[in-house]
């Protein structure tokens, strides 16, 4: 039964179609594995009963020789994506009892494709964090070392995929929240182009930056899942009516004519020397496969983090204003007046990091500071996007760089230093500001036996080239085949 969990999504799909095993057997194997690895705290809620029922229905359809892209495949969903009739908490006390009245579009796409939902994964509260320590349900532990963070904010999804508690998972990425945990946990994570995937039914953090992405154990599985959830949605005003290519069809193509840009600005002081060495080895491998490495300049990279931490909190302060004890979320008891209702409901419902960002966002939008901070940040955002546009038009087909400046750090190491925590996303934030597709793929391990991720950033709507290059690299290396220790074997520290 355990061996079933170590099959890739594409292998699971083939096995189900051939009748090698049933969806019910597969689901039971994953549920047992989740139970055996509760120490990771990857799930906020395991939907065992509904998963078993869904699996039985899938087996009935399989016996009728029905076919669907994910029929019977067990997946997990980040707990800020609505699933009808199930709690969607955003890992916050504010929404701990909220039951979603409808499915998000991406949830519906998975259901239409035949997927079995195993549960809702843990995360940083309202997706605000880089370590998955800002959760009302406790931190997620890294499968490779239980004393390390899993990354954030989609740390539960990344840890679940890494430890093979599901065949794949959905996450969201506002400033690196799919790619950074993917790097820390040694899996593949992709943030598609902004507008490629519907945000309808996804609880908003920063609406101009949020994008649903996927985490998977290999590039092919990531391509399959991305294809399923992509497409125009009239219910989402930011969704773009672009043709969705067959991403899987681009796998296996040669990359000999590919020009890969290497930005000097992504190799900075303070970056782990081991990470830099591993990344440069990965770049050499891409060059050996026939790609041409060219130097490119992204001169506004150094202001991406401060720009992001003005714009994202500003949007968050607006989006989270609805959680006031009246319309949505936690309502304080024994209140005397309206002011106390607002104050206590929000004080009791939100965690420290969410409060910090609401305060920052309200400040930069306030009278007298809007032009000085928010408007200026929007202008700088345009410059960052222009840097990428010039690099792609003049020099390269995609850009390669580290996903994160270090491997997974220790639990508690940065939680009391917000600035140090924010710098964990220094290499992932620019792609969100520019709305570009970006992917993280495992490319090695440091001396602490912790995974390192290589980030590939593509042109708008060109996820296909990202998958092609990532698959070429993956096929020539073995990193994606390494597995973290079993929970019963004890931590690696």
What are the respective helix, strand and coil percentages of the chain, to the nearest 5? 45, 15, 40
Give Dmax (Cα) for the chain.
Answer: 70
Q: Is 366 a catalytic residue?
A: no
Q: How far apart are the first and last CA of the chain?
A: 28
Q: Is 347 a catalytic residue?
A: no
Of 8, 92, 135, 153, the catalytic one is 153
- Tokens 């020539």 identify what position? 476
Categorise residue 113: left if φ over 0, alpha if ψ from -120 to 50, beta otherwise: alpha
Of 78, 191, 459, 468, the catalytic one is 78
Contact 219, 255 (CB under 8 A): no
d(CA 82, CA 102): 7
28-7-193 Cα angle (round to 5):
105
Helices (H), 350-456: 352-364, 376-394, 418-422, 429-434
Of 8, 131, 157, 177, the catalytic one is 177
Q: Is 78 a catalytic residue?
A: yes
d(CA 224, CA 482): 21
HEC assignment per residue over 259-299: EEEEEHHHCCCCCCHHHHHHHHHHHHHHHHCCCEEEEECCC
Provide the annotated active-site residues. 78, 153, 177
């Amino acid at each position: 039964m355990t061996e079933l969990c170590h099959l890739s999504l594409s292998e699971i799909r083939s096995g189900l179609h051939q009748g090698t095993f049933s969806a019910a057997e597969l689901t039971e194997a994953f549920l047992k594995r989740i139970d055996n690895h509760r120490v990771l705290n990857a799930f906020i809620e395991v939907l065992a009963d509904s998963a078993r029922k869904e699996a039985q229905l899938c087996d009935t359809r399989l016996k009728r020789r029905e076919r669907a892209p994910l029929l019977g495949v067990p997946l997990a969903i980040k707990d800020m994506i609505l699933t009808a009739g199930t709690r969607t908490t955003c890992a916050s006390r504010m929404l701990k009892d909220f039951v979603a009245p409808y499915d998000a579009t991406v949830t519906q796409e998975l259901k239409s494709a035949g997927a079995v939902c195993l549960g809702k994964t843990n995360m940083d509260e309202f997706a605000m964090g880089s370590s998955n320590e800002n959760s009302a349900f406790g931190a997620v532990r890294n499968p490779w070392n239980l004393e390390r963070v899993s990354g954030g904010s989609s740390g539960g999804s990344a840890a679940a995929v890494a430890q093979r508690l599901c065949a794949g998972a959905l996450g969201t990425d506002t400033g690196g929240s799919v790619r950074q945990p993917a790097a820390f946990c040694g899996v593949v994570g992709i943030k598609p182009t902004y507008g490629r995937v519907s945000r309808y039914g996804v609880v908003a953090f920063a609406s101009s930056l949020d994008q649903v992405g996927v985490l998977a154990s290999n590039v092919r599985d990531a391509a399959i899942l991305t294809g399923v959830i992509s497409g125009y949605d009239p219910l989402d005003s930011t969704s773009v009516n672009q043709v969705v290519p067959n991403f899987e069809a681009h796998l296996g193509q040669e990359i000999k004519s590919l020009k890969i840009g290497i930005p000097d600005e992504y190799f900075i002081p303070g970056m782990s020397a081991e990470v830099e060495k591993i990344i440069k080895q990965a770049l050499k491998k891409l060059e050996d496969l026939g790609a041409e490495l060219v130097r490119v300049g992204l001169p506004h990279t150094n202001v991406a983090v401060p720009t992001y931490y003005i714009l994202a909190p500003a949007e968050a302060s607006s989006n989270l204003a609805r959680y006031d004890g009246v319309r949505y979320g936690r309502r304080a008891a024994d209140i005397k007046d309206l002011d106390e209702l607002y104050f206590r409901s929000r004080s009791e419902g939100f965690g420290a990091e969410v409060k910090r960002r609401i305060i920052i966002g309200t400040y930069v939008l306030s009278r007298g500071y809007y032009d000085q901070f928010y408007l200026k940040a929007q202008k700088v955002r345009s410059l960052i996007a222009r840097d990428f546009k010039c690099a792609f038009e003049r020099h390269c087909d995609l850009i390669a760089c580290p996903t994160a400046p270090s491997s997974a750090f220790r639990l508690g190491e940065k939680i009391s230093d917000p600035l140090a925590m924010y710098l964990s996303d220094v290499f992932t934030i620019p792609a969100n500001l520019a709305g570009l597709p970006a992917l993280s793929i495992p490319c090695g391990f440091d001396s602490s036996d912790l995974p390192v991720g290589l980030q590939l950033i593509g042109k708008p709507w060109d996820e296909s080239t990202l998958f092609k290059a990532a698959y070429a690299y993956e096929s020539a290396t073995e990193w994606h085949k390494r597995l973290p220790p079993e929970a019963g074997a004890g931590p690696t520290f």
